[in-house]
Amino acid sequence: MRKFVKILGAAWAAVALIAGAGVSYLYLHKPAMARASDIRIARTPERLARGAYLFNLADCDGCHSQRDFSRFGGPVAEGGRGAGTVFPDAMGLPGLVAPSNITPDPETGIGAWTDGEKIRAIREGVDRDGRALFPMMPYENFRHMSDEDVYSLVAYLDSLPPVKHKVPKTRLKFPVSMLIKGAPQPAGSVPPPDRSDRRQYGKYLVTLAGCMECHTRQLSGGEVFRVAPNILVVSANISPDRATGIGKWNEQDFVDRFHQYRDYVKNGPPAVGPESFTLMPWLNFCRLPAEDLKAIYAFLHTQPAVYKSVDTHPAWSLQTAGLTSAVKTAAP
Ligand code: HEC
Ligand code: HEC
């Protein structure tokens, strides 16, 4: 989302600069792109397990799966895993944005792609035909995914049940459509993260999990996510500020805050109304082992404390306030 805002800002500045001559150049310009590798990934049980872990950590479901938001955290709807969707207009995106069908269905999914093409799309941001993907697909983060991790992820994607579901192609408006061509970058070979350095490992997890994309402004949050005219949620301040962030939480508080949702994963999350709508991937992150959450905690605490109070459910507070006064007026 922050990227999208940046791109939009850059878009108008760029249009002012290049007006005329440059435009046709950008139109014809192809994104930076390496040839897709010829690798064929062996599907071992270790890779499938690691791939499932990464799919959950990087919340591929969050965008690519059909979800049931009548329940807390929007669990994946039956049969909708990886099937693709179209983002609603209320999100205010620059055109039609449709997270693709990433199941192995050969016609409507990515079943016909080579492993190398899948790796390139995930880490480098170009599709099979060399088109730049809209960087809301977090390839600028996934670029840091290690070689072995992206192999595991692809092995896991190949094991998803294929779903036949045609999703339209993303169609961005000018000039965003042109400007995103600068986003793809070849990733080269990426070594595995150093797990013995907890903060570094935490940084790796935070990067893949996209914490910074939603908890923008140096983790102080305040980003509004609107999915329907009156359904929204605002990201929390998770910087180490003691008054308004998570500075007072100890490591165990942090782990518990996530693990409290493990029952929801086991038994299915409860039905909720718009007052509890959230895009925070609680149902994913609660599955992370305590060591990983502790590494994330350690990394978050290396970041600057930002003082800012955020109301994560403002529309609801307003609505409730309205409702209460309405009830008061109506009372005898
Ligand atoms: C924040 C939303 C978001 C997340 C999270 C996300 N994606 Fe995407 N992804 C998209 C969007 C949107 C597109 C379509 C972009 C376009 O076509 O320009 C896309 C496109 C893709 C494509 C290209 C498919 C095609 O047919 O062109 C692949 C492959 C892919 N994503 C895999 C993944 C995987 C694997 C994960 C998890 C590791 C993931 N994505 C996480 C939003 C997301
Ligand atoms: C898709 C957007 C999104 C992503 C990705 C995301 N968050 Fe959140 N997060 C939110 C929103 C929105 C809220 C506020 C609503 C809520 O609490 O459910 C929130 C709330 C939280 C809270 C609760 C804060 C409090 O004061 O109660 C914590 C802790 C948190 N996020 C940590 C993280 C961490 C750590 C990551 C990465 C591992 C992360 N978030 C990734 C959107 C996101």
User: Which letter, b or e, does each residue of 68-84 get, where b requires 16 or more Cβ atoms within 10 Å of its Cβ?
Assistant: ebebbbbbbbeebbbbb
Ligand 2 pocket residues where CB is under 6 Å? 62, 206, 209-211, 213-215, 225, 233, 235-236, 238, 246, 257, 278-281, 285, 296, 312
- The domain total for the chain is 2
Task: Specify the residue with its C-alpha closest to ligand 1, atom 36.
Answer: 60
- Confidence band of 27 (pLDDT split at 50, 70, 90): low
- Confidence band of 328 (pLDDT split at 50, 70, 90): very low
**Could you tell me if 235 and 279 lie in one domain?**
yes
- Nearest bound ligand to CA 309? 2
**Is 97 close to ligand 1, i.e. is its CB under 6 Å away?**
yes
Report the first-to-last Cα separation within the chain, whole angstroms. 47
**Could you tell me if 243 and 148 lie in one domain?**
no
Give pLDDT tens digits for 183-208: 999 999 999 999 999 999 999 999 99
Report yes or no on 187 lying in a domain. no
Report yes or no on 30 lying in a domain. no
Check: pTM over 0.95? Answer yes or no: no
Nearest-atom index, ligand 1, CA of 54: 38
* Among 215, 207, 218, CA closest to 234: 215
* pLDDT value of residue 22: 55
**Could you tell me if 166 and 269 lie in one domain?**
no
pLDDT at 326 exceeding the cut of 60: no
* pLDDT value of residue 230: 85
Give pLDDT tens digits for 222-244: 999 999 888 999 999 999 999 99
Task: Specify the residue with its C-alpha closest to ligand 1, atom 21.
Answer: 100
pLDDT at 14 exceeding the cut of 60: no
Report yes or no on 135 lying in a domain. yes
Whether residue 175 is preceded by a cis peptide bond, meaning omega within 30 degrees of 0, is: yes
Report which residue type is found at 151.
Y
Pocket test for ligand 2, best of 1, 67, 238 (most atoms within 8 A of CB): 238
**Is 104 close to ligand 1, i.e. is its CB under 6 Å away?**
no
Domain that holds residue 141: 2-17+45-182
Indicate the average pLDDT of the chain: 90
Q: What is the mean pLDDT of residues 97-109?
A: 98
State whether the Cα torsion 168-150-289-266 is positive or negative: positive
Pocket test for ligand 2, best of 214, 283, 284, 286 (most atoms within 8 A of CB): 214
Report yes or no on 175 lying in a domain. yes
**Is 74 close to ligand 1, i.e. is its CB under 6 Å away?**
no
pLDDT at 152 exceeding the cut of 50: yes
pLDDT at 284 exceeding the cut of 70: yes
Pocket test for ligand 2, best of 199, 204, 215 (most atoms within 8 A of CB): 215
* pLDDT value of residue 119: 98
**Could you tell me if 12 and 105 lie in one domain?**
yes
Report which residue type is found at 70.
S
**Could you tell me if 320 and 231 lie in one domain?**
yes
- Confidence band of 322 (pLDDT split at 50, 70, 90): very low
Q: Say how many Å lie between the CA of residue 62 and the centre of ligand 2.
A: 13
pLDDT at 10 exceeding the cut of 80: no
**Could you tell me if 72 and 131 lie in one domain?**
yes
